[in-house]
């Protein structure tokens, strides 16, 4: 469906009322209440805790668990994530995950990506939800696993009553317990809902617009530390789009990704398991390939050897590229050997070959990491030279 026909699709009234009505209600009610009654500390605390609850249920639950199957969760964890996700009012797990899988499969496609960033900020952020879903109701052919999941289907079939129950029940109960029902309803309920909506929407809009592309430039997804802070770790979206099955979005240990910390912490208690990690070799390979691409682009700006130092760097990069290709060939060769070993004979022999191969794989990976570091230095000196010239 083209951008033009999308604007002609009928208005999605429930979506429009929730998404546009809640900010209007908040703008009127919250200042009015603050003026007449003031908010208690408890109401503000409920805002922070419930924001974390609903947002993490979307990132760890809707996104990494149900859309990507990046790990497995025990029933109590699934139940809590389902409740928190319902409380975030972003449609059912089934609908959300089906749309999200389409987004990954057809990322940036104007016709097929349901929230294509190529259609601009407004559309990818919220516009796509204000009108009926492109091509009518989704057929859910891409979520057979979820169609067989009892909890997911229960939430899908009773979505509206569950939304009412969580939206009124959770803040209502907390408010009743701390003696400030209206304060908690407004901050932990209404304001929390609006903020948790927009931080999720940032992932589809801003995370496809601003930031770096260290792993792939084949789509618009970006890595952005600042957005990771607001989006509970989902700001490392460039990594996520190339390796969507990894339970981490911020793959480096120091990258701010509370969702990965939550999933990992739960795994130490046996509440989640089989956390999927992309092998570090594959990650390094993607990173290094991009570094070469950037170096080439930078050098192309200069045309032919304008400066002697730049010519030298150019030669070095060409040499490094040879090493990179060599390393990749070596790796492919090892993979082939591994495959042959698995096909061939007895267990003992496989074990011996495995040990030997593991050792060699390790060496290849080490050389790739060293190369990556050298490349980093070269790019830095290249930038310096370019400034000088
Ligand atoms: Zn995306
Ligand atoms: Zn995703």
Ligand nearest to the CA of 207: 1
Cα 279 to averaged position of ligand 1 atoms, centre (Å): 22
CB-side exposure of 131: number of CA atoms within 13 Å? 18
Q: Which of 228, 245, 273 is the last residue in one of the domains?
A: 273
Cα 142 to averaged position of ligand 2 atoms, centre (Å): 14
pLDDT at 152 over 60: yes
Q: What does the block give as tokens for 238? A: 């460039």
Examine the domain organization and report whether 252 and 313 are in the same domain. Answer: no
pLDDT at 351 over 80: no
Partner residues linked to 131 by β-bridges? 11
- Give the whole-angstrom CA distance, residue 323 versus residue 167: 58
Confidence of residue 2 (pLDDT cuts 50, 70, 90): very low
Average pLDDT over residues 124-131: 90
Cα 332 to averaged position of ligand 2 atoms, centre (Å): 29
Residue-wise pLDDT for 50-61, tens only, equals 999 999 999 999
Cα 246 to averaged position of ligand 2 atoms, centre (Å): 10
Examine the domain organization and report whether 289 and 224 are in the same domain. Answer: no
Cα 62 to averaged position of ligand 2 atoms, centre (Å): 9
Q: Which of 251, 273, 295 is the last residue in one of the domains?
A: 273
Cα 372 to averaged position of ligand 2 atoms, centre (Å): 27
Cα 237 to averaged position of ligand 1 atoms, centre (Å): 6
Instruction: Tell me what the pLDDT averaged over the chain comes to.
Output: 88
Cα 81 to averaged position of ligand 2 atoms, centre (Å): 17
Least confidently predicted of 19-33, 50-64, 79-93, 366-380: 366-380
3-class DSSP state for residue 305? coil
Partner residues linked to 273 by β-bridges? 72
Cα 240 to averaged position of ligand 1 atoms, centre (Å): 8
Examine the domain organization and report whether 251 and 334 are in the same domain. Answer: no
Ligand nearest to the CA of 249: 2
Cα 185 to averaged position of ligand 1 atoms, centre (Å): 32
Q: What does the block give as tokens for 329? A: 């060939």
Token pair 């939304």 in the structure block, residue = 163
Examine the domain organization and report whether 291 and 267 are in the same domain. Answer: no
Going by C-beta distance under 8 Å and a sequence separation of 6 or more, which residues neighbour residue 245?
68, 69, 70, 276, 278
Ligand nearest to the CA of 103: 1
Q: Report which DSSP code applies to 235.
A: T
Cα 232 to averaged position of ligand 2 atoms, centre (Å): 14
Cα 215 to averaged position of ligand 1 atoms, centre (Å): 14
Cα 190 to averaged position of ligand 1 atoms, centre (Å): 26
Q: How many domains does the chain have?
A: 2
Q: What does the block give as tokens for 223? A: 């890595």
pLDDT at 320 over 70: yes
Examine the domain organization and report whether 166 and 79 are in the same domain. Answer: yes
Ligand nearest to the CA of 100: 2
Least confidently predicted of 84-93, 251-260, 292-301: 292-301
Ligand nearest to the CA of 108: 1
Q: Residue 157: its pLDDT value, please?
A: 97
Q: Residue 8: its pLDDT value, please?
A: 65
Examine the domain organization and report whether 341 and 252 are in the same domain. Answer: no
Q: Which of 231, 257, 273 is the last residue in one of the domains?
A: 273
Cα 266 to averaged position of ligand 1 atoms, centre (Å): 26
CA of residue 260 relative to chain centroid, distance: 11
CA of residue 58 relative to chain centroid, distance: 11
Examine the domain organization and report whether 375 and 262 are in the same domain. Answer: no
Examine the domain organization and report whether 152 and 181 are in the same domain. Answer: yes
Cα 62 to averaged position of ligand 1 atoms, centre (Å): 14
Residue-wise pLDDT for 267-277, tens only, equals 999 999 999 99
Cα 234 to averaged position of ligand 1 atoms, centre (Å): 10
Examine the domain organization and report whether 32 and 93 are in the same domain. Answer: yes
**Where do runs of H (alpha helix) occur along 159-215?**
159-178, 181-184, 192-204
Domain range enclosing 378: 280-388
> What CA–CA distances, in Å, run from 312 to 307, 315, 318, 378?
9, 5, 10, 11
Going by C-beta distance under 8 Å and a sequence separation of 6 or more, which residues neighbour residue 94?
140, 143, 146, 147, 152, 153, 155, 156
φ, ψ for residue 223, nearest 5 deg: -95, 125
CB-side exposure of 352: number of CA atoms within 13 Å? 6
Cα 147 to averaged position of ligand 1 atoms, centre (Å): 23
> What CA–CA distances, in Å, run from 148 to 82, 95, 140?
16, 14, 12
Going by C-beta distance under 8 Å and a sequence separation of 6 or more, which residues neighbour residue 4?
none
3-class DSSP state for residue 223? strand
Exposed e or buried b per residue across 33-67, where buried means at least 16 C-beta atoms within 10 angstroms of its C-beta? beeeeebbebbeebbeebbbbbbbbbbbbbbbbbb
Q: Residue 284: its pLDDT value, please?
A: 86
- Greater model confidence, 176 or 309: 176
Confidence of residue 5 (pLDDT cuts 50, 70, 90): very low
CB-side exposure of 93: number of CA atoms within 13 Å? 38
Average pLDDT over residues 223-238: 96
Examine the domain organization and report whether 10 and 121 are in the same domain. Answer: yes
pLDDT at 300 over 80: no
Confidence of residue 347 (pLDDT cuts 50, 70, 90): low
Examine the domain organization and report whether 224 and 285 are in the same domain. Answer: no
Examine the domain organization and report whether 218 and 327 are in the same domain. Answer: no
Q: Is 264 exposed, middle or buried (0-12, 13-18, 19+ CB in 10 A)?
A: middle
């Amino acid at each position: 469906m083209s951008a033009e026909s999308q604007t002609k699709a009928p208005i999605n009234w429930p979506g429009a009322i929730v998404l546009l009505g809640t900010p209007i209600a908040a703008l009127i009610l919250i200042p009015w209440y603050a003026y007449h009654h003031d908010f208690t500390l408890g109401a503000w605390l409920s805002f922070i805790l419930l924001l974390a609850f609903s947002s993490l249920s979307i990132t760890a639950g809707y996104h990494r668990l149900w859309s990507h199957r990046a790990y497995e969760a025990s029933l109590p964890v699934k139940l809590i994530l389902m409740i928190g996700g319902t409380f975030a009012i972003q449609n059912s797990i089934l609908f959300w995950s089906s749309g999200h899988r389409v987004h990954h499969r057809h990322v940036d496609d104007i016709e097929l990506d349901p929230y294509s960033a190529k259609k601009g900020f407004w559309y990818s952020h919220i516009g796509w939800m204000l009108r009926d879903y492109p091509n009518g109701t989704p057929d859910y052919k891409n979520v057979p696993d979820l169609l067989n999941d009892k909890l997911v289907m229960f939430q899908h079939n009773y979505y509206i009553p569950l939304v009412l129950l969580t939206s009124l029940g959770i803040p209502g109960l907390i408010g009743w317990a701390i003696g400030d029902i209206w304060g908690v309803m407004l901050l932990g309920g209404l304001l929390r809902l609006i903020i948790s909506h927009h931080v999720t929407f940032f992932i589809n809009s801003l995370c496809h617009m601003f930031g770096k592309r260290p792993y792939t430039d084949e789509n618009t997804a970006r890595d952005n530390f600042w957005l990771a802070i607001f989006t509970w770790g989902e700001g490392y979206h460039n990594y996520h789009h190339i390796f969507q099955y990894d339970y981490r979005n911020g793959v480096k240990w120091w990258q701010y990704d509370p969702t990965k910390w939550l999933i990992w912490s739960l795994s130490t208690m046996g509440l989640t398991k089989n956390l999927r990690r992309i092998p570090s070799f594959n990650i390094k390979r993607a990173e290094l390939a991009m570094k070469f691409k950037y170096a080439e682009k930078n050098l192309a700006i200069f045309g032919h050897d304008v400066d002697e130092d730049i010519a030298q760097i150019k030669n070095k990069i060409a040499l490094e590229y040879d090493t990179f290709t060599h390393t990749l060939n070596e790796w492919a060769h090892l993979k082939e050997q591994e495959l042959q070993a698995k096909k061939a004979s007895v267990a003992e022999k496989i074990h011996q070959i495995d040990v030997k191969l593991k050792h060699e794989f390790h060496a290849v990976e080490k050389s790739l990491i060293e190369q990556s570091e050298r490349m980093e230095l070269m790019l830095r000196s290249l930038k310096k030279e370019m400034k000088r010239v």
